[in-house]
Structure 1
Amino acid sequence: MGSTAAWTLPREPTSTATLRRLGVSRKSIATQARRGSLVQLRQGVYLAAGAWPEDRRAQQLILAKAEVAANPEAVISHQSAALAWELPSPDVDGWTDLPVSITLPATGGYRSSRGATGVHHVARLPAGHVCRDESGYLLTSLARTAVDLAAVRPLPEALVILDGAARRLCQGFVTTPRRSDFTNPAFMAQTKEQLLGAAHLCRHSGLAAAIGLSEPCRESAAESLSAGHFHCAGLPTPIFQAAIRTPIGVFYPDCLWPELRVIGECDGAVKYTDPNAYLREKQREQALRDQGYLVVRWLAREILTSPAVVVERVGRALDC
């Protein structure tokens, strides 16, 4: 199209070179940017202003796609891929406050770098470690993403990522996952096999122990973090999400030490919009106490910011 012709503003991050190939002049690009109709995501990459999302997660994914637009051989990876896969983060701020991340092929003569637009990794990505999102962008597979991120974290934090990946992998084995699917021995073995395979190809053999501890049944980052800290402290390993029958129903506590009849519960920052929710929680806990269980509780923020306090509290309950 000519320089004065009307053109459709891009709804996906698009490079200047691509726009030029479509017949859009540099002057027209500059005009639309000056009017505020076109947003410059990074040098040489643009997006229609109306396509810029309000959600912080979606914004980060758009910026990762902008890096791919500027580096066509790139694959969205690490924390940016974790956002795409909705993997839990072991950090207070989550993945959205980290720079966007891409991986470039090891055979392209690229060098790893960290700049204003994000982090560029250079690595070998076998075909099985790459897939496409719904928009067609390349990103690292779920297992590869988890391994890349967990490899540079200590055990409690790595377990958050690995548990989250294991849970997502389990969800992919069935159409409608049930609670029992996350403790299915065959499914658990398959998730660990995929994670171990990715770790082996990436030469992250040190992750084998952490992968061995991963369990898809753990339902939150705080629960996984707790499991990691308990393991590191040498506390007895609990059963996670085990069924306990009471006169008022079946409950699935976060942690259960059956021989010691101790239950551990990690409480998130839940706002009870239902006025009866707090009462039901107290009834649930009393039903467990009536069954002869000692219930010990801690907050999600406590295990994140003061894990030694939680470990000591649980250790007292276990008489360790």
Structure 2
Amino acid sequence: MNVLSREQYTARYLNQLPRVLTSQSISKNRLHAGAASGAFVKLLPGCYVEDTQLPSAHLPTYMQVNERAKLQLAAGIVGLREDEALSHWSAGIAWDLPWYGTDTRVHILRTDCKGLPRTGTAIHTSINKPYLVTTPDGITLTNLEQTVVHLAAASHPSVGLAYLDHAQRIGASAMSLRTVCDETLVRGRAKVQRLIGLSVNNSDSAKESECRYWLYKARVENVETQYRVDTELGTFYADMWVKDTPLLFEYDGESKYSDDPRALFKEKQREDALRAAGFVVVRVTSRHLNNPERFMIEVRHRLTSHNYSVPAKGGRQVP
């Protein structure tokens, strides 16, 4: 099996973006007629897409926003200058990173301050051009490490940790992330460096990373990810284990049990086996992450009930 490099993967991903219509691809008369009839929808000045490409209203809102961001990205690439690169959320989409928020603007990094702002874009400046990557199709974007550092700096720390975990899982190293952070980031450097110190390369999902962040924020030390537990039913790997306690934290996503009708039964067997091995399984859902203050109180209560001493102050620095 041929394994694609990170740059090859990104190039293939960008090639799969929707086809954008401009006066360079079809005649101006057809373009204007299609726009007037509603067959073409304007994305950015001079850039249109067929209305069939728009996200379905039946999709969840966050998926509609995500698809809309991809359309905007496809339009933004059309007008990308030689001294510009996709960055931030736009480069993150190309790297297939987890995506949050409602910002569908095309984010562009320039190596100087020249040029006027453009509709539908967010312009950033940097003098550190060596960290830009050009795909085989000539589309320039920030590399994985710089993209993640930008996103971590611009996001809530819990989301920033999810970005950094994901980057390490797909091949970035903590050292390379630190180097890029030191050399390219102006605002938020200290926050990102602390998050890099908390990040791991074996977190299975963004929500698991967020959960771990709130454990750290609750002053829980010594959290081990993907902890191996040998049981009578075989070997299982728990999302998070708090060392020196019997507590295992498992994040349950909404779709975890929807794909396989037997998934709920299998998960019950797995949990029973973990409990028989002497562990206490704590289920975490989006409800807990949406109310982190209450979640942290619950975490501290569980820890103290198992004789785990939660420090009042101090410990590792959590932004």
What TM-score, normalized by structure 1, do the two folds share? 0.75
Distance 1:284 1:226, change over 3 A: same
Is residue 2:61 matched to residue 1:61? no
List per-residue Cα deviations over 1:13-38 (Å, max 9, x = no partner).
3554x45xxxx764454345445565
Question: Deviation per CA, 1:99-152, whole angstroms, max 9, x where unpaired?
Answer: 2222242325136x5x752322233342333232x7542222111111111112
Instruction: Give me the whole-angstrom Cα distance separating, in 1, the residues matched to 2:201 and 2:126.
Output: 28
- Residue identity matched to 1:268: G
Contact persistence 2:22–2:47 (CA under 8 A): yes
CA contact (8 A) 1:264 1:295 kept: yes
Q: Distance in 1 between matches of 2:78 and 2:128?
A: 19
1:84 aligns with 2:94: yes
Give the % identical residues: 26
Structure showing greater Rg? 1
Q: Is the 8 A contact 2:87 2:147 kept in 1?
A: yes
- Paired residue for 1:103, among 104, 108, 133? 108
- Counterpart in 1 of 2:206? 221
Is the alpha carbon distance of 1:214 and 1:39 closer, same or farther for their aligned partners in structure 2, counting shifts above 3 Å?
Answer: same
Aligned residues: 276
* Runs (5+) with no aligned partner, structure 2: 1-17, 57-62, 305-309, 311-319
Displacement of 1:298 after TM fit? 1.9
Contact kept? 1:241, 1:255, Cα under 8 Å: yes
Deviates more, 1:286-295 or 1:199-208: 199-208
The two structures have a TM-score, normalised by structure 2, of 0.75
Aligned-residue offset at 1:247: 0.9
One-letter amino acid matched to 1:248: L
Deviations 1:195-224, CA, capped at 9 Å, x for gaps? 112212213531212112111211111211
- 2:222 is aligned, of 237, 244, 251, to 237
- Structure 2 residue aligned with 1:40: 42
Counterpart check, 1:199 vs 2:199: no
TM-aligned CA distance change 1:281 to 1:136, over 3 Å: same
Change (3 A) 1:266 1:51: closer
Number of the residue aligned with 1:147: 149
Shift of 1:163: 0.9
Equivalent in the alignment of 2:60: none
Residue 25 and residue 157 in structure 1: after superposition, are their counterparts in 2 closer, same or farther (change >3 A)?
A: closer
Output the amino acid matched with 1:149.
L
CA RMSD of aligned residues (A): 2.8
Q: Do the aligned residues in 2 keep the contact of 1:163 with 1:224 (CA within 8 Å)?
A: yes
Query: Is 2:110–2:123's contact at 8 Å kept on the other side of the alignment?
Result: no
Structure 2: which amino acid aligns with 1:131?
T
Give the Cα separation in 2 of the matches to 1:40 and 1:135: 25
**1:276 and 2:258 aligned:** no
Cα 1:72–1:49 change in 2 (3 A) is farther
Secondary structure of the 1:119 match is strand
For 2:282 and 2:54, the matched residues in 1 are separated by: 46
Q: Which residue of 2 aligns with 1:184?
A: none
- Pick the aligned partner of 1:309 from 294, 303, 312: 294
Matched residues in 2 for 1:52 and 1:151: separation?
Answer: 31
Q: Is the 8 A contact 1:61 1:83 kept in 2?
A: yes
Give the letter for the 2:177 counterpart.
Answer: L
